Amino acid sequence: MVAVHDLVPGDALAQLAARVVRAPMAVLLMVHDEAVEIFGRFGFVNGDRLPSDDPLGKQVISGARVVCSDDDSWPGFGTQLALRAVLGVPVHDNDSRVIGALLAMDQRPHRWAPEDVASLLAVARFGGVHPASAGVDDGSALRLASRFRTCHHAVERSLRAARTGSEAAPRLLEALAVALGWPAAELFLVDEKTGSLGAVGHWCDWTGESADFFGHAPVKGAGITGRVWQTGRPIWVNDITVYTDLLTPFEQNRVRVAAEHGIRTMMSVPVCDGDTLLGVLTCYAHSPERHQELLTVLLDGVAAQIGLWIALRRAERLGHELGRTQDDFIALVGHELRTPLASITAHAGMLHDEATALTADQQVMVESIARNAGSLQHTVNTLLDLAGLEAGHLPVHPKKVNLCTLITEAVNAVRPRIAENGIRLHTDLPSTIWLTADPDRLRQVVDDILANAVLYTPLGGTVQVTATSDEAAIQFQVADSGIGTPTDERARVFDRFFRGSNVRHHGTVGSGLGLSRARAIIDLHEGHIHLTGNAPTGTVVTVRLPAPP
């Protein structure tokens, strides 16, 4: 076996990367003079060469990650080496510019775990900051690889088992400290409302009183944790008792407390979500560590895991809060708007019936009031109907239904509007397709989908309605040549109140409720509804329902 200290620095980094993720091969590519060069390799058979302009390497260098567990169609060197599995991440410098790529590879199927990605990113960060100083001895490389792997696995397990930051902190800090052999660790998070930094949890391996050590309120710009809070950059202090920058009374008191607990070395890294600092992770040791750069990168990787987890949890909480806000709004609409709207609609109808007593201008105003009140009443009814369906208060009443007859009736009802808009309508329906469904609710689905198609299809456009069936399922589609929906927004069109960005810019009115109600009804029928593009422009809405037994 080749000892790491006999390798060039890039080869040593590649070997460390391979061991961290338990891969037999790895390669480090770096951009040099606008060319992609092999900076380090590990595990290649003698005589094999890796082209520096390989498409896969260039893909990762472009900033994209590659996570593939089993694929035998890799181009370039992948074919030459008969690769089946590849895990690739970009290498960034201190300014976040992509300067290279780090690839772990296997000639057999290899299932990459989430912590493998985090571990490889940690090694890649070290390669970006210290690309020419990666030489470590063979025993240290094995120990570092083991510590990386054990730590990321333990942190991943701790985060999966927790629901909040304060609940996660003790477990993940213990996992981190035990895996790396450190006596203590503490996690601080920024309060979303006040912006202050506070401790949410700690772990230590000593018994006895530790209240003076943990739980202090960091001062921004003072002390190790406070300076990371201010700068957003990691700090490593080998010996705080001789660290000359800790001069304020607050800092001197923290040094004294640490020394009383036998702590001399401190490592502190920011916990971020992108460019937003969410907190600070601070670890403590009794004596200086070797390979500080690699361990700092490891802590950065752990902090990134924590940051992503916190960001996802906060997003989930915001999603729940938004859902509650929407529910409150629906309740408000139901209780505060429905009755007045009914009165407005009724009185507008009475005035319209007495049209002979009104002037022409007054008749126009009454008709406008009645029309807009009716439109608002329809929106309110749809909203309350959707809320009842989603809450399970409005069950479906299935019976034997001819889908083709139902669709034909819906199409005939919308034909006058289609003619007014100059839209061409085509149908391709068999005479009968029987299924078991609630006919009234299924008609609502067809009406809502057709209404959307007509609303967003321009003059001269087309709407195509088809239905098919087989032994497994019944399917009907409505395809239009309208403005379409951006690809990254198609999964959201069934959310309440959501309207595509192009629709908002287009100026077309709408409530964003029709497709939401359609999905709720189809879900109650144990079916599926989805939206795809209709080349060259437009949308296809597909509904699949279970075939009758």
Confidence of residue 139 (pLDDT cuts 50, 70, 90): very low
Strongest mean pLDDT among 228-242, 307-321, 506-520:
228-242
Instruction: Check if the beta carbon of residue 316 is closer than 8 Å to that of residue 330.
Output: no
**Model confidence at 6: pLDDT above 50:** no
Question: Does residue 53 or residue 525 have the better pLDDT?
Answer: 525
**Tell me, what's the pLDDT at 121?**
82
Q: How far apart are CA 313 and CA 200, in angstroms?
A: 15
Tell me the C-alpha to C-alpha distance, in Å, between residue 445 and each of 408, 451, 516: 13, 10, 10
Question: Does residue 457 or residue 495 have the better pLDDT?
Answer: 457
**Tell me, what's the pLDDT at 446?**
96
* Matching residue, tokens 């287009």: 506
Q: What does the pLDDT look like over 140-179, one tens digit per residue?
A: 555 565 666 677 777 778 787 777 777 888 888 888 888 7
Q: What does the pLDDT look like over 396-453, one tens digit per residue?
A: 899 999 999 999 999 999 999 898 889 999 999 999 999 999 999 999 999 999 998 9
**Tell me, what's the pLDDT at 363?**
81
Gyration radius of the chain over CA positions = 32
**Tell me, what's the pLDDT at 132?**
42
Helices (H), 84-137: 114-129
Computed over every residue of the chain, the mean pLDDT equals 81
Q: For residue 505, what are its two tokens?
A: 């810019």
Q: How many other CB atoms are found less than 10 A from the CB of residue 320?
A: 10
**Model confidence at 2: pLDDT above 60:** no
Specify the DSSP element, H or E, that contains 277.
strand 276-285
**Tell me, what's the pLDDT at 545?**
95
CA atoms within 13 A of residue 55's CA, in its CB half-sphere: 6
Q: What does the pLDDT look like over 24-75, one tens digit per residue?
A: 888 888 776 666 777 778 887 554 455 556 777 677 778 888 888 888 777 7
Q: For residue 54, what are its two tokens?
A: 């390989």
**Model confidence at 3: pLDDT above 50:** no
Instruction: Check if the beta carbon of residue 190 is closer than 8 Å to that of residue 201.
Output: no
Length of the chain: 549
Question: Is this model's pTM higher than 0.85 or not?
Answer: no
Average pLDDT of the segment spanning 519-534: 92
Specify the DSSP element, H or E, that contains 307.
helix 292-332
**Tell me, what's the pLDDT at 528?**
94
